[in-house]
């Protein structure tokens, strides 16, 4: 498959910004990404914009044209919604547009602003990524849903809360070097174990924060990159998208996430690589158990083998497979519609050597970004490689 070159990328700081508008946040990230690429807004052929709860949080539909306007263009644009995987899917659609020859230069990204909704409002909005008929009406929220996944995993494969706590500690430690991260605070295992219980076995430090922020990536075709002399050292060489049932009750197992496995196999096949070729990964750790499920579904670990990877030091920044060097959703933050594009931006900058945590890597050439929607009813996986 042809490559989609990453010509530029940027994220805003992630945090609580209730007084800013979504279009303002996306303008900051998108224009900075174009500046990073050294390109003007009128060079953009199309805009792909991920957002989940904007119709609730900002009383705003038809957001695609607003996203384009925020960049300074009236290029054709569309909003893409796939819950927490919204901008991962936006990037995938953008990659396909570039590969097909329909576009030479595209901006893909996303934004979410939820702090203005308050904790109850944001929790209610986010719950709409679950099945309304069988889950939402029964009172299921995402902490409860991921607690069910954690319990199923423990019952099937083993593990305990201390294993999950090691993941939280690792990702908080990684975020200390990221000035765009929402939670820049060091924690220890006892902090996690002694924190308020949210939904057993998950506590406060097992969950990502409610974050505002935006991210954008500029993608170029090989011919455009060559003709315009773009400084694009990293390309997306594999892209995959997988799905599963919405309601947990309809799944064969709650201890596995087949949507991620399907997306990964597709991305690996396109890139012509195997899981063993991955040097680093940014995975969707909205809750600590989600990192475990992702690593196994991605084929980076066998079933039941990733639960103690952080505790054993394997996924720390000095380990054999650094995971979530940005701090992950757990500490970097999770502005839902921006997360997938932010992961792509992080992996790209890590491979380029411009990320604050790049010094943890030695000769890294292949990275992976995994973005999941809801309880992984949808998932995208992208393989990024150094090409120059």
The rounded distance, in Å, linking the Cα atoms of 322 and 181 is 18
Give helix 63-71 / helix 22-37 axis angle, nearest 10°: 50
pLDDT of residue 2: 82
pLDDT of residue 177: 87
Six token digits for residue 13: 């700081």
pLDDT of residue 1: 63
- 84 beta partners: 82
pLDDT of residue 295: 98
The rounded distance, in Å, linking the Cα atoms of 364 and 157 is 31
The per-residue DSSP string of 149-167 comes to HHHHHHHHH---HHHHHHH
pLDDT of residue 92: 98
Write down the catalytic residue from 241, 334, 370, 382.
334
pTM above 0.85, yes or no: yes
Write down the catalytic residue from 84, 182, 208, 355.
84
Determine contact, residues 266/240, Cβ cutoff 8 Å.
Answer: yes
Q: What is the mean pLDDT of each run of 10 residues along the chain (388 residues)?
A: 92 96 97 98 98 94 97 98 98 98 97 94 92 92 96 98 98 96 98 97 97 98 96 97 97 98 98 98 98 98 98 97 98 98 98 94 96 98 95
286 is catalytic: no
pLDDT of residue 34: 98
The rounded distance, in Å, linking the Cα atoms of 373 and 39 is 32
Handedness of CA 336, 377, 322, 342 (dihedral sign): negative
What is the three-class DSSP state of 331?
Answer: helix
**For the chain, which domains are there?**
4-118+209-386 (3.40.47.10)
Determine contact, residues 248/148, Cβ cutoff 8 Å.
Answer: yes
334 is catalytic: yes
pLDDT of residue 281: 98
């Amino acid at each position: 498959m042809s490559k989609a070159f990453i010509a530029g990328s940027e994220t805003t700081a992630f945090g609580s910004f209730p007084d800013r508008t979504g279009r303002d946040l996306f303008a900051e990230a998108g224009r900075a990404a174009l500046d990073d690429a050294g390109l003007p807004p009128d060079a953009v052929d199309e805009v792909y914009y991920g957002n989940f709860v904007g119709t609730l949080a900002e009383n705003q539909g038809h957001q695609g044209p607003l996203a384009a306007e925020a960049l300074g263009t009236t290029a054709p644009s569309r909003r893409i919604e796939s819950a927490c995987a919204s901008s991962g899917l936006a990037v995938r659609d953008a990659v396909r547009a570039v590969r097909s020859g329909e576009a030479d230069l595209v901006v893909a990204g996303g934004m979410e602003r939820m702090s203005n909704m308050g904790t109850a409002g944001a929790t209610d909005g986010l719950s709409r990524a679950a099945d309304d008929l069988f889950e939402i009406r029964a009172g299921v929220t995402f902490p409860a849903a991921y607690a069910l996944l954690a319990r199923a995993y423990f019952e099937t494969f083993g593990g305990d809360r201390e294993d999950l706590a090691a993941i939280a500690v690792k990702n908080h430690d990684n975020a200390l070097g990221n000035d765009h991260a929402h939670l820049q605070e060091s924690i220890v295992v006892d902090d996690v174990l002694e924190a308020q219980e949210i939904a057993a076995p998950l506590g406060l430090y097992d969950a990502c924060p409610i974050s505002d922020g935006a991210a954008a990536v500029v993608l170029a075709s090989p011919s455009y990159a060559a003709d315009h002399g773009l400084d694009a050292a990293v390309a997306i060489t594999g892209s995959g998208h997988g799905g599963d049932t919405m309601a947990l009750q309809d799944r064969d197992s709650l201890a596995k996430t087949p949507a991620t496995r399907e997306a990964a196999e597709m991305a690996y096949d396109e890139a012509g690589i195997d899981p063993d070729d991955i040097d680093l990964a940014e995975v969707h750790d909205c809750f600590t158990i989600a990192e475990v499920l992702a690593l196994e579904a991605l084929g980076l670990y066998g079933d039941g083998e990733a639960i103690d990877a952080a505790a054993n030091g394997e996924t720390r920044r000095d380990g054999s497979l650094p995971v979530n060097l940005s701090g992950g959703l757990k500490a970097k933050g999770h502005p839902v519609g921006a997360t997938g594009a932010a992961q792509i931006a992080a992996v790209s900058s890590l491979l380029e050597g411009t990320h604050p945590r790049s010094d943890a890597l030695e000769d890294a050439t292949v990275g992976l970004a995994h973005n999941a929607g809801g309880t992984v009813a949808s998932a995208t996986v992208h393989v990024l490689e150094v090409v120059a």
